């Protein structure tokens, strides 16, 4: 390369390459600081689009997981309430069996009848009073309640719980239908209770199935979210080992470039010295 006074070609070339090295070093610093390979659309426009869609899916699954956990809790509340309903019904059955004792007086049976009526009231109280976030679970009004269980619009689950009041599960177990004032009435009450217990068992089986399904969905959501998160990480996250190696390399190149530029800037002075030489 010829020596010139008007233009220092070597210095210009070194400056240009030094600028590129500084730009690369700046990008490396940003990636190491943020932990991301892609920090703006100019870094990788295609990856930004994919990562945005994955982020939307991940956030949607997070909300769906909350809905699913609410569904699990709701089913647990309903089942716990039905346990108390079963206990109350079993108590009525015990009272009816006791009332069939041949040695019981009319007064004894009337006392037993009073407790039967209290248990009936308790069953209806449970059915109408058990709520989850203001929703009555066992009053017969919890029908086709929709839960969003995924990131997309079509990922829904409709849940229905049958009513558990004495009228709905007792097959006539309401008011005067449950009587133990006579042996005949006590016998009929035992049959009514057995039928009611079967109805409650059926409701509990449905609720148990709903809870199991929610738990299965929760596991699926977690697995899918993990996969999406891993995919986004592969696309967006910086390779720290590679970026660190690039940083070290570019720092060395930059230091070398600065030294070379200093030498290149001396060339015009060397040329002047040559011209001044006798």
191 CB-near residues (< 8 Å, 6+ apart): none
161, 78 Cβ separation under 8 angstroms: yes
- 102, with CB counted inside 10 A (0-12, 13-18, 19+), is exposed
- pLDDT band at 215; cut points 50, 70, 90: very high
Give yes or no for residue 235 having a pLDDT over 70.
yes
Q: Which CATH superfamily is domain 45-236 in?
A: f41 fragment of flagellin, N-terminal domain (1.20.1330.10)
Global pTM value: 0.76
Instruction: Kindly state the average pLDDT of the residues 88-97.
Output: 95
- pLDDT band at 261; cut points 50, 70, 90: low
CA distance 227 to 181: 65
Query: What are the C-alpha distances in Å from 214 to residues 39, 76, 145, 148, 177?
Result: 38, 11, 14, 11, 38
Question: pLDDT at position 179, please?
Answer: 87
Q: Of residues 61 and 45, which shows the higher confidence score?
A: 61
Query: What are the C-alpha distances in Å from 202 to residues 79, 115, 143, 164?
Result: 11, 26, 16, 11
Instruction: Kindly state the average pLDDT of the residues 213-225.
Output: 96
Question: pLDDT at position 30, please?
Answer: 83
Question: pLDDT at position 110, please?
Answer: 93
Question: pLDDT at position 272, please?
Answer: 58
Give yes or no for residue 11 having a pLDDT over 80.
no
232, 58 Cβ separation under 8 angstroms: yes
End-to-end CA distance of the chain: 24
Give DSSP secondary structure letters for the chain. ----SS--HHHHHHHHHHHHHHHHHHHHHHHHHH-BS--STTT-HHHHHHHHHHHHHHHHHHHHHHHHHHHHHHHHHHHHHHHHHHHHHHHHHHHHHHHT-TT--HHHHHHHHHHHHHHHHHHHHHHHH-EETTEESSSS---SEEEE-SSSTT-EEEE-----SHHHHSSS-SGGGS--SSHHHHHHHHHHHHHHHHHHHHHHHHHHHHHHHHHHHHHHHHHHHHHHHHHHHHHHB--HHHHHHHHHHHHHHHHHHHHHHHHHTTHHHHHHHHHH--
Q: Of residues 84 and 177, which shows the higher confidence score?
A: 84
230, 53 Cβ separation under 8 angstroms: no
Query: What are the C-alpha distances in Å from 265 to residues 3, 42, 165, 274?
Result: 12, 35, 96, 16
pLDDT tens-digit profile of 122-171? Answer: 999 999 999 999 999 999 899 989 999 999 999 999 999 998 887 876 65
Give yes or no for residue 97 having a pLDDT over 90.
yes
């Amino acid at each position: 390369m010829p020596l010139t006074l008007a233009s220092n070609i070597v210095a210009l070339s070194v400056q240009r390459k030094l600028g590129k090295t500084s730009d690369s070093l700046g990008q490396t610093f940003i990636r190491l600081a943020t932990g991301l390979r892609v920090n703006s659309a100019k870094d990788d426009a295609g990856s930004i689009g994919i990562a945005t869609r994955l982020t939307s899916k991940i956030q949607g699954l997070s909300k769906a997981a909350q809905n699913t956990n609410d569904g699990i809790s709701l089913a647990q509340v309903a089942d716990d309430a039905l346990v108390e309903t079963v206990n109350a019904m079993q108590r009525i059955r015990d009272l009816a069996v006791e009332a069939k004792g041949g040695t019981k007086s009319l007064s004894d049976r009337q006392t037993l009848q009073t407790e039967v009526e209290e248990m009936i009231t308790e069953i209806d109280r449970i059915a109408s009073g058990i709520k989850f976030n203001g929703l009555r679970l066992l009053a017969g009004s919890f029908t086709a309640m929709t839960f969003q269980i995924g990131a997309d619009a079509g990922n829904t689950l409709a849940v229905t719980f049958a009513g558990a009041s004495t009228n709905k599960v007792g097959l006539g177990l309401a008011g005067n239908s449950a009587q133990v004032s006579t042996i005949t009435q006590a016998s009929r009450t035992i049959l009514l209770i057995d039928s009611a217990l079967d109805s409650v068992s059926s409701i509990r089986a449905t609720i148990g199935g709903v809870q199991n399904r929610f738990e299965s969905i929760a596991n699926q959501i977690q697995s899918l979210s993990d996969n999406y998160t891993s995919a986004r990480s592969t696309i967006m996250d910086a390779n720290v080992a590679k970026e660190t190696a690039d940083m070290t390399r570019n720092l060395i190149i930059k230091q070398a470039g600065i030294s070379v530029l200093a030498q290149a800037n001396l060339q015009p002075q060397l040329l002047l010295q040559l011209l001044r030489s006798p």
